[in-house]
């Protein structure tokens, strides 16, 4: 059986008031709640309640709002498949579900009632970033696999497709999750923990990012030894300076955040050998979690190659393979530069590198062709607009002349 869980947010509400409301709602059919097993957490922003019992959805949210005379958001996790919420604040209400057609197909109008409204929420919760909230309020079924293993915001603990994303959403509203320890004591469900970096490396755990998994299969460069393997990363930790930071005990996201702070604390980090080494570790963590985008940025910091002046060319073939494999089209010149260097360092795999260079050249030609076509289309549109403008001007002058002729003849 999957996860069935509901928790309520009472912004600006005292714990005692929220507790009395839950106890009163438990006495009202058809709600089936267990107030004695419910958990409460008060903070400066209000009260959060993990409500034990059957899911009450919008009816329970509305009743709790009535009983407290306070805004209430009731979030729910349904069978581990999706999450949603129901919000009531007097005459205002808002509803959202990540999978609105989970039980049956629904009309467009019904679906529109479950899209969520950040404007309403920002009036009642301590957040004014409506764009940030909107990143969570997406119907997963509308995006097929586009959102899979991606996160709504950097720093979240759960990606799209995970019902535990509701916890991250509540945290953005000012109510970080407070019940892990209490749930453990009560032998209730816990947030599924991510492994530590040490566990990932020592057990060779595959990435949780689907994009990363697909890239590992698809890229010929990543079929060779590269910097995003456990073997390579474990070798980095043989450096006492890296080992003493105890990064293996941290989870991937924590490692990335730690290295970000460390990197900004060092003067000229781009030239610092330890920072370059740590950048490669951070690249591994971000690749494992999210895929190529963030990881490439770290790999870019792993070598010092200024635009001007002389510098030592990179000698780490494994690092260059990883960076070239993760490069997107907008940075294709960097990939070609790394591939040219790889040909010098590793002529044994010349065929692989040349094939990659040819692939980039082919994509460049296709892009150039599209750009030329776009330019031609734009020129044609400009000519058509100019032609229409000339015709309108000619017609305008013709009308003026006709009026003048009539005036003279009259």
Token pair listed for 228: 């995003």
Higher pLDDT, 374 or 399: 399
Alpha-carbon distance of 406 to 331, in angstroms, equals: 66
The predicted structure's pLDDT at residue 192: 47
The pLDDT, as a whole number, for residue 182 is 60
Q: What is the DSSP string of 194-227?
A: PPPHHHHHHHTPPPS-HHHHHHHHH-SGGGS--T
Closest alpha carbon to 132 in 143, 124, 121: 121
Residues 6 or more apart whose Cβ sits within 8 Å of residue 392: none
- Ordered alpha helix ranges (H), 186-331: 197-203, 210-218, 230-236, 240-243, 252-265, 273-290, 292-301, 317-326
Q: Looking at 89-157, list the stretches that DSSP marks H as alpha helix, in order from N- to C-terminal side.
A: 108-112, 118-124, 130-134
More confident of the two residues 203 and 2: 203
**Average pLDDT in the 335-339 region?**
94
State the average pLDDT over residues 168-175: 94
333 CB-near residues (< 8 Å, 6+ apart): none
Specify the pLDDT at position 259.
93
Q: Which helix (H) or strand (E) holds 172?
A: helix 165-172
- pLDDT-derived band at 391 (thresholds 50, 70, 90) equals confident
| pLDDT band with cut points at 50, 70 and 90 for residue 195 | confident
Cβ-contact 292, 328 below 8 angstroms: yes
Determine the straight-line distance between the first and last CA of the chain, rounded to whole angstroms.
93
Average pLDDT of the chain is 89
Q: What dihedral do alpha carbons 207, 210, 212, 217 form, nearest 10°?
A: 100
188 pLDDT band (50/70/90 cuts)? very low
Angle formed by the axes of helices 292-301 and 317-326, to 10°?
140
Provide the pLDDT confidence category of residue 83 given band limits of 50, 70 and 90.
Answer: very high
Q: What is the pLDDT of residues 119-141, one digit of tens each?
A: 999 999 988 789 999 999 999 98
| Token couple for 10 | 């009472």
- Per-residue pLDDT, 410: 62
pLDDT of 187 higher than 60: no
pLDDT cut 70: percent of the chain above it: 95
Dihedral through CA 149, CA 150, CA 155, CA 161, nearest 10?
-60
156 three-class SS: coil
pLDDT tens readout for residues 248-285: 999 888 898 899 999 989 999 989 999 999 999 999 99
Task: Judge contact between 207 and 44, C-beta under 8 A.
Answer: no
Closest by CA to 6, choosing from 56, 47, 41, 46, is: 56
Q: What percent of the chain has pLDDT over 90?
A: 59
- Residue in the block written with tokens 């009983």: 67
Answer for the pair 259, 279: CB distance below 8 angstroms, yes or no: yes
Task: Please give the Cα distance from 352 to 339 (Å, whole number).
Answer: 9
Beta partners for residue 97, in sequence order: 84
Res. 193 pLDDT band, cuts 50 70 90: low
Domain ranges of the chain: 5-185, 197-345
- Selection from 290, 283, 280 nearest residue 157 by Cα: 290
Spatial separation of the C-alpha atoms in residues 167 and 75, rounded to whole Å: 9
Average pLDDT over residues 42-59: 93
Q: How much is the pLDDT for 232? A: 96
Q: How confident is the model at residue 9 (pLDDT cuts 50, 70, 90)?
A: very high
pLDDT at residue 2, rounded to an integer: 59
């Amino acid at each position: 059986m999957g996860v069935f869980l509901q928790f309520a947010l009472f912004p600006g509400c005292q714990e005692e008031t929220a507790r009395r409301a839950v106890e009163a709602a438990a006495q009202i059919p058809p709600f089936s709640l267990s107030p004695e097993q419910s958990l409460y957490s008060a903070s400066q922003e209000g009260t959060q309640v993990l409500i034990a019992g059957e899911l009450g959805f919008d009816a329970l949210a509305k009743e709790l709002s009535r009983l407290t005379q306070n805004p209430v958001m009731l979030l729910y996790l349904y069978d581990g498949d999706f999450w949603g919420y129901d919000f009531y604040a007097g005459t205002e209400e808002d509803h959202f579900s990540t999978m609105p057609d989970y039980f049956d197909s629904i009309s467009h109008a019904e679906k529109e009632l479950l899209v969520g409204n950040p404007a309403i929420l920002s009036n009642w919760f301590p957040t004014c970033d409506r764009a940030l909230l909107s990143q969570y309020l997406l119907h997963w079924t509308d995006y097929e696999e586009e959102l899979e293993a991606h996160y709504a915001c950097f720093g979240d603990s759960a990606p799209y497709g995970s019902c535990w994303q509701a916890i991250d959403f509540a945290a953005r509203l000012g109510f970080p999750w407070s019940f892990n320890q209490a749930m453990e004591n009560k032998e209730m469900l816990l947030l599924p923990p991510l492994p530590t970096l040490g566990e990932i490396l020592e057990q060779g755990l595959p990435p949780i990012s689907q994009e990363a998994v697909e890239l590992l299969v698809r890229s010929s460069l990543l079929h060779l030894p590269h910097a995003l393997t456990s073997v390579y990363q474990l070798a980095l930790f043989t450096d006492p300076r890296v080992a003493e930071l105890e990064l293996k005990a941290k989870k991937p996201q924590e490692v990335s955040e730690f290295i970000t702070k460390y990197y900004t604390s060092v003067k000229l980090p781009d030239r610092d050998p330890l920072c370059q080494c740590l950048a490669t570790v951070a690249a591994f963590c971000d690749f494992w979690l999210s895929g190529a985008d963030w990881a490439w940025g770290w790999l870019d910091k792993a070598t010092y190659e200024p635009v001007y002046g002389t510098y030592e060319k990179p000698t780490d073939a494994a690092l260059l393979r990883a960076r070239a494999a993760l490069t997107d089209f907008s940075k294709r010149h960097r990939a070609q530069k790394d591939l040219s260097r790889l040909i010098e360092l590793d002529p044994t795999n010349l065929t692989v590198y040349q094939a990659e260079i040819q692939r980039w050249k082919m994509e460049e030609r296709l892009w150039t062709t599209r750009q030329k076509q776009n330019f031609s289309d734009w020129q044609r549109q400009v000519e058509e607009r100019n032609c229409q403008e000339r015709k309108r001007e000619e017609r305008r002058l013709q009308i003026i002349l006709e009026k003048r002729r009539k005036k003279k003849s009259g």
